[in-house]
Amino acid sequence: METAEIARRFLSFFEKNGHTVVPSASLIAEDPTLLLVPAGMVPFKPFFLGQRTPPYDTATSVQKCIRTKDIEEVGKTSRHATFFQMLGNFSFGDYFKEKAIPLAWELVTTPVEDGGFGIDPDKLWVTVYLEDDEAERIWREVVGVRPERIQRMGMEENYWSMGVPGPCGPCSEIFYDRGPEYGAEGGPQADENRYIEIWNLVFMQYERGEGGDKTGFPIIGELPKRNIDTGMGLERLASVLQGVDNIYETDIIGRVLRRAAELTGTRYGDDSDQDVMLRVVADHVRSAVMLVADGVKPGNEKAGYVLRRILRRSIRNLRLLSGSDTAFLHELTAVSIDAMKDIYPDLLDKADVIHGVIDTEEKNFAETLRAGTALFGRVAERTRAEGGSVFSGSEAFQLHDTYGFPIDLTLEMAAEQGLSVDESAFRELMQKQRETAKADARAKKLGNADISLYAQLLEGAGATDFLGYSDSRSESRIKGIVVDGAASPAAREGERVEIVLDSTPFYAESGGQLADTGTLSVDGRGLVDVEDVQKPLPGLFVHRGTVRSGEIALEDTVHASIDTDRRHAIERSHSATHLIHSALRNALGPTAGQAGSENRPGHLRFDFTADNALGGERLAEVEEEVNTVLARDIEVQTQERGLEEALRMGAMAMFGEKYGDRVRVVEMSDYSVELCGGTHVPSTARLGIVKLLGESSIGSGVRRVEAAVGADAFRRLSRESALVGQLSEQLKTPREELPERIDAMVSRLRTAEKEIERLRAAQVLQAAGSIAEGARRHGSALVVAQAAPEGTSGDDLRKLVLDVRGRLGEDEPVVVAMTAVPKDRPVVVIAVNKAGQKAGVKAGELVGVAARVLGGGGGGKPDIAQGGGSDAGKVDEALRAVEARVASA
């Protein structure tokens, strides 16, 4: 039975049994405590916690999941996978054990021809929690499972909680017996390799307290409502129903694995290490496809880092398997999309963008590998030359920060060369880099309040009614006040405050559009300056600001008023973003998808996927097209439609955005049709003018254009015109001839700089003869140890040292050690001739001696090495240390 058919049957069975079929949520978790969705119940977590009221009593879903905790185990076992799908059925205070258990057994054992999975009941075993007599009785008396096939297990195996105070309850699991060739008899208690879990039923009926993690916590009491949360791994069930040994050999993942073997000229099953690499590739490519489809882009933080890490692991494994640097991911991505399309048809619509993102990352990583591997090799060589075995944390951080090397790749490469990595120093540097960004993001998005407080406000006050599409003012009622991170009945003058209203004209920051600002006033009693509006939870508008005067209290009626001039300026920027998006797609094709934006008064930035820079000429064409379209005075129409209807009419959905069943469509004739929840101008002529300010790269395969809009664009053009006028006057050159005149001036300047550099280098090298004459004997070697002439660059220092060494010949050991201080940082270069090397003197070791005195490091080969430090005052001391080491050799 194919995987897609398994998913279809599961949903169909529970739909027939009264469950609402809920589409999979995005892999990007809405829960701010999670990065990605790791389990099928996560989208329903607010319902289980009582934070939100579910719109249905029972539900069923096939949920996309990503787990990276055990990424190093992927491919090594038959069970671990990064991306997987969880089949689940859920009850929110409706049915409980008495219905959940028989439903599970019915679906698993019903013959295939009758719509079930057709598993032989004699192949199944059941586990229950030690003290769960009720579940054991239902399995035995209602379902008819033989008592010897029911085993009781402890909290570690058969009790569920989230690891923190909250809902919990016993579990019951169904296991499939794979047969005696896989292990010992005796059920799950005897061998979980032979008996594999296929379905877990969680009976959520208690509340747990503090203490312990998986065991040892106190049970406080019963929940007000008893819930059902079940999960069955689709891939694991597929391996059972398809009669294969592991999930990597099932129809979907197996297709990617087999194609990877063909492309790399290997065979699956011939070599265990090779098999692990092929399984890693198959898992990671599919995971990458699904992450990109949900809007994740490769990066160095959060979900972007997860994507970058698995893509780069795939690329490196493919190179090791094939022994070449051939690009394979495009072909494997196509295979994965085709294999998954029956379950997720939207992958076909997103195929161009998915290919664009993954192809670009593969191309960029090829360049990263070349540059980063060279740096890694230099550091590794220097580490060994200095007698060390630990790759420094600062160098690992540089590889990550500058070259995009994931730390796990550095760890793998270091291990291959017999080195360890100072991970603690690396983590400390990473943490320092993140602290400021995290603090800023948390302050902006969530203020100081815990997310659970917002959930309580949403549950108590309900969703905020947004009036801002038509109104700039409203009379609203205060439903929640937060001061210093805690709910408060009132707020007084001078206090920073967060306010929830029952309705609001204020737009909350989203979709790239900045929030409105304005005021909330209570007649004769209080005034609040609103500085920002955020939506920490869907439907909840939180107005953040300061009480300017008086006080406000819960249930007060307030006059809410936005700054309309600011709103209109933002609207002009937002509408311009839509036009720029369409113009870019016309210029670059459909792969130029939106990757982020910001719309603020008079200015916008728009991020899009592209392999290469637009170039000045094409950028000018995009700007001209946008201004031509806006001058046509096109009416901007907005209307609400069903999501499927909107997509059929050609509306562009923003990649990675989450949409409900009803969406808002913004149309500018047929030139631009997009799904968008933001606010816009009534017609394009209101934009006035759009001036593109430039284009730049902001990451792998992602570029950014910035633009000024309206009066800001006019002021920008006015300033530029004045500047050009000044240049024209100063250079006595007509405006239209300025580019040629400036190019000629720059060319002459560069030629002069090169000539000055050549003369300076020649002057430095002229000193080689006199420097060589100053050689002194230390032990059996002739040694030159002195500072280079003032102004010597690092490159010239190396040439000078080699020249001096050459003048001293090969008849006896020669060591030349010289220092320079370019840009206020000391550099030391040491060269040893062949006779010196035969005598056991190595440049790499000597440069380590000097560099340590200078407060730095260095390394190189036995014949020449270079190092440096931070203490220029110890140059003479460093040279004397080299002389002493040579004398003692």
Distances (CA, A) of 325 to 264, 314, 334, 369, 371: 11, 12, 19, 10, 14
Which burial class, exposed, middle or buried, applies to 211 when counting CB atoms under 10 A from its CB (0-12, 13-18, 19+)?
exposed
Q: Is 543 annotated as a binding residue?
A: no
603 among annotated binding-site residues: no
Largest CA distance in the chain: 103
Instruction: Please give the single-letter amino acid code of residue 47.
Output: F
Tokens 């990007």 locate to 28
- DSSP assignments along 254-298, one per residue: HHHHHHHHHHHT--TTS-HHHHHHHHHHHHHHHHHHHHHHTT---
Quick one: CA dihedral 161, 51, 654, 252, positive or negative?
positive
* Those residues with Cβ within 8 angstroms of residue 683's Cβ, 6 or more apart along the chain or in another chain: 633, 634, 635, 636
Task: Map residue 654 onto helix, strand or coil.
Answer: coil
Side-chain-side CA neighbours of 342 within 13 Å: the count stands at 11
Strand pairing class (503-504; 465-466)? parallel
Q: E strands of 563-656, at which residues? A: 594-600, 603-609, 636-642
735 touches 724 (CB < 8 A): yes
Residue 635 DSSP class = B
- Chain centre to alpha carbon of residue 242: 34
Write the DSSP string, 153-212.
E-HHHHEEE-SSSEEEEEEEEEEEE--GGGS-SS-TTT-TTTEEEEEEEEEEEEEE-SS-
**Cβ-based neighbours of 3, under 8 Å, separated by 6 or more:** 234, 235, 238, 250, 251, 252, 343
Q: What are phi and psi of 229, to 5 degrees?
A: -135, 110
Cβ-Cβ contacts under 8 Å for 362 (sequence gap 6 or more): 311, 315, 327, 329, 330
The answer to whether the annotation marks 578 as part of a ligand binding site is: yes
Residue type, 856: G
80 is in an annotated binding site: no
**How far apart (Å, rounded) are the C-alpha atoms in residues 317 and 491?**
59
The SS3 assignment for 721 reads helix
Beta carbons of 357 and 292 less than 8 angstroms apart: yes
Q: How many C-beta atoms surround the C-beta of residue 431 within 10 A?
A: 10
Rounded CA Rg of the chain: 34
Q: Cite the annotated binding site for Zn(2+) by residue number.
A: 574, 578, 676, 680
Q: Cite the annotated binding site by residue number.
A: 574, 578, 676, 680
